[in-house]
Structure 1
Amino acid sequence: MAQSSTPRRFTFLLLNRFTMLPFAAALDALRLANKMAGTQLYDWRLIGAEGGFATCSNGSQIRLDGGFDDDVTLGRDDVVIVCGGDAITAQATRPVLAWLRRQARAGVTLGAVCTGAHVLAKAGLLDGRRATIHWENHDSFTETFPEVDLHRQVFVDDGARLTAGGGTSSIDMMLHVIGQAQGADLASQIADQMLHTTIRTGRDHQRLSIATRIGIRHPRLAAVVARIEANLENPVSPSRLAADAGMSTRQLERLFMRYLNRSPKRYYLEARLTRARQLLLNTDLPLIEIAIACGFSSSSHFSKCYRDRYGTSPYRERGVQKAGTVVALPGCSDTVLALAS
């Protein structure tokens, strides 16, 4: 495949509290592409809004090559990768959004890893486009940006927009980009160097199967759990779950206690509260909207269940998170709570 004499430039925008793994994996794929090809196929620079240093979510600091005020003009051959991480809503500042919009107008290819897709969406740069984000942020993203065609794949290539879910998914996204430009053989050599034994495609999903995640191989129980996860806003009664799975309510309760050590009601409630916490910490939705989105009939009922589960009120937890304090998750309460009325 013919190669340009000019290296293709990648600019990594490191937002405050970005996640190290997807950034480092994406960058190293480019380094290995140069090494394996024996020529400078790619170069890169690291930037932040103000230059200086960027602080990672693990506390490490990375020295940046510059900031938005540098006299560096990006064009159609350039790629900008937005590297997100924790507290992503606070990183979508006016300077960041304005800079990204300028790059989009210049025809730059814009990408994102981990929660960076939130910032692209906030800038209106994913409207009507296919995209992905880390599975933990999927529900909150859908609630906040309904105009984006969100998928649960490892990565999504929508032409001038590239998004990867986080973790090692950035390896697959970069191998996809490198393979398109330089051929599948080079991409395979890079994967081999990275001990990345399976190159995932844009059709592969982010999460493990339900059976693997919950550690069971009981097909009917896994099917019930999948039904629960798909119906958090409008909970299905245990009797209906059991009937649709071809068993009695008592049989379903025994399965849950045997394999998951909790009742179906308890499991359902924990799933709804987990989703509520993701919405609480990753969106600015009012508490009543979060309550309704997670199947609670009122904000007071939601607050009571949340306090029993996490040891603090939703209002206080959101306030503490915005103040920049990391909140530990208390152990699960032993109280069995009923489904929303």
Structure 2
Amino acid sequence: MTTKVQTVKLTDVGKPRRFVFVLLSDFTMLCFAAAVEALRIANRTAETELYQWRILSETGEGIACSNGCQFGVDGALNELERDDTVMLCGGIDIQSATTQKLLNWIRREARRGVTMAGLCTAGHSLAKAGLLNGKKATIHWENQDSFAEEFEDVKLTKSVFVIDGNRITTAGGTASIDMMLKIIADDHGEELANAVADQLIYSAIRTDQDTQRLSIPTRIGVRHPKLSQVIQMMEQNIEDPISPSILAKDVGMSTRQLERLFRRYLSRSPKRYYMELRLQKARNLLMQTDMTVINVALACGFASPSHFSKCYRSHYNTTPYRERGTMSSRLTV
């Protein structure tokens, strides 16, 4: 039994557009596979070669993604054609994967006018190379805190993907599909993009106006508008925490009512919940940046390193210094 494939007839398609996927160490398989599959299905649906792609690694040797699967590649970093589109595929520990050799190559190709995209965490590599200064960009939500601290000149958003001129960034995972569908639509029309989405069984196409994380009510499993509003204010004010009394006043309730609300739905006080948010951000900064422990403490609203260390140890059963040391030892194994 054969499956009938919906086809979209196109005219004047011209020269195939070429994508160059650069796989970085421990890249995320999903963000890469989703992007390539969208291109493959576009070719199949149009019954013509609209897109070509090559796969490179820094050395030209095979490379492993974060789940351990090994990928063969077509070659090493080399000089590209000016109308190529580079797709850097990042994943775990993007800081280590962003080598000086990679940065030199990115800058050289960007000067020649090549379009550059950073999938998943690879927006960090583009920012490190200086390619995102003054531009809008996004990155996986887990890396947003460290990215914002390190690259102040980048207009960081929480969008699923961002296309700003010839710079493209995605939040990772299935965001590659949304980004590719946008590119396909721009290149060859909405009909083809929708046909590709149908083949992917992808019924909820997101735009660059959609945010990557679930809504607060969905994340916490509670639909209470005032509780969601308070948590949003907490998340937006980590460096300068707001007192529970002011939070309560801002949503039109008493401090005691706010306490009861948190204990009823989240089984903790507002103060405790706020502290956990701050410590979570602190842990992200410790694991993903070279910021000093003192600067991490200040960025997360702690007045002194000693108070920060005490709170961190109470929550994570280790100190910030040991946490960073443990992370460093894992990376060198």
- TM superposition score normalised by structure 2: 0.94
Identity of aligned residues (%): 56
| Cα distance in 2 between the residues matched to 1:287 and 1:3 | 58
User: How big is the shift at 1:32?
Assistant: 0.6
Q: Indicate if the aligned counterparts of 1:75 and 1:107 stay in contact, CA closer than 8 A.
A: no
* Amino acid in structure 2 at the alignment position of 1:101: R
User: How big is the shift at 1:75?
Assistant: 2.4
Confirm or deny that 1:182 pairs with 2:191.
no
1:35 alignment partner, one of 23, 44, 55 = 44
Confirm or deny that 1:148 pairs with 2:154.
yes
2:58 alignment partner, one of 49, 62, 67 = 49
Confirm or deny that 1:120 pairs with 2:126.
yes
Report the counterpart of residue 112 of structure 2 in structure 1: 106
| Cα distance in 2 between the residues matched to 1:303 and 1:187 | 51
* Amino acid in structure 2 at the alignment position of 1:66: G
| Cα distance in 2 between the residues matched to 1:248 and 1:129 | 42
Report the counterpart of residue 215 of structure 1 in structure 2: 221
| Cα distance in 2 between the residues matched to 1:62 and 1:304 | 44
2:251 alignment partner, one of 221, 240, 245 = 245
| Cα distance in 2 between the residues matched to 1:320 and 1:56 | 22
User: How big is the shift at 1:146?
Assistant: 0.3
* Amino acid in structure 2 at the alignment position of 1:308: S
| Cα distance in 2 between the residues matched to 1:195 and 1:324 | 39
Question: 1:257-316: CA deviations, max 9, x gaps?
Answer: 111111111100000011111111111111111111100011121112112211222122
- TM superposition score normalised by structure 1: 0.92
SS in 2 for 1:196: coil
Question: 1:212-250: CA deviations, max 9, x gaps?
Answer: 111111111111111111111111111111122211211
Mark the runs of 5 or more structure 2 residues left unpaired by the alignment: 1-9
Confirm or deny that 1:319 pairs with 2:325.
yes
Question: 1:67-119: CA deviations, max 9, x gaps?
Answer: 12x5xx41232000111111111111110001111110111100011100000
Report the counterpart of residue 300 of structure 1 in structure 2: 306
Report the counterpart of residue 21 of structure 2 in structure 1: 12
User: How big is the shift at 1:128?
Assistant: 1.2
| Cα distance in 2 between the residues matched to 1:111 and 1:66 | 19
Alignment of 1:277-292 (within 5 A): 277-292=283-298
Report the counterpart of residue 5 of structure 2 in structure 1: none
Q: Indicate if the aligned counterparts of 1:156 and 1:163 stay in contact, CA closer than 8 A.
A: yes
Q: Indicate if the aligned counterparts of 1:3 and 1:182 stay in contact, CA closer than 8 A.
A: no
| Cα distance in 2 between the residues matched to 1:13 and 1:305 | 41
User: How big is the shift at 1:324?
Assistant: 2.9
User: How big is the shift at 1:2?
Assistant: 4.8
Mark the runs of 5 or more structure 1 residues left unpaired by the alignment: 327-341
* Amino acid in structure 2 at the alignment position of 1:153: S
| Cα distance in 2 between the residues matched to 1:282 and 1:55 | 21
Provide the alpha-carbon RMSD of the alignment: 1.4
User: How big is the shift at 1:3?
Assistant: 3.9
Report the counterpart of residue 97 of structure 2 in structure 1: 91
Q: Indicate if the aligned counterparts of 1:233 and 1:292 stay in contact, CA closer than 8 A.
A: yes
User: How big is the shift at 1:325?
Assistant: 5.3
Confirm or deny that 1:194 pairs with 2:200.
yes
Confirm or deny that 1:25 pairs with 2:34.
yes
Q: Indicate if the aligned counterparts of 1:76 and 1:106 stay in contact, CA closer than 8 A.
A: yes
| Cα distance in 2 between the residues matched to 1:202 and 1:2 | 28
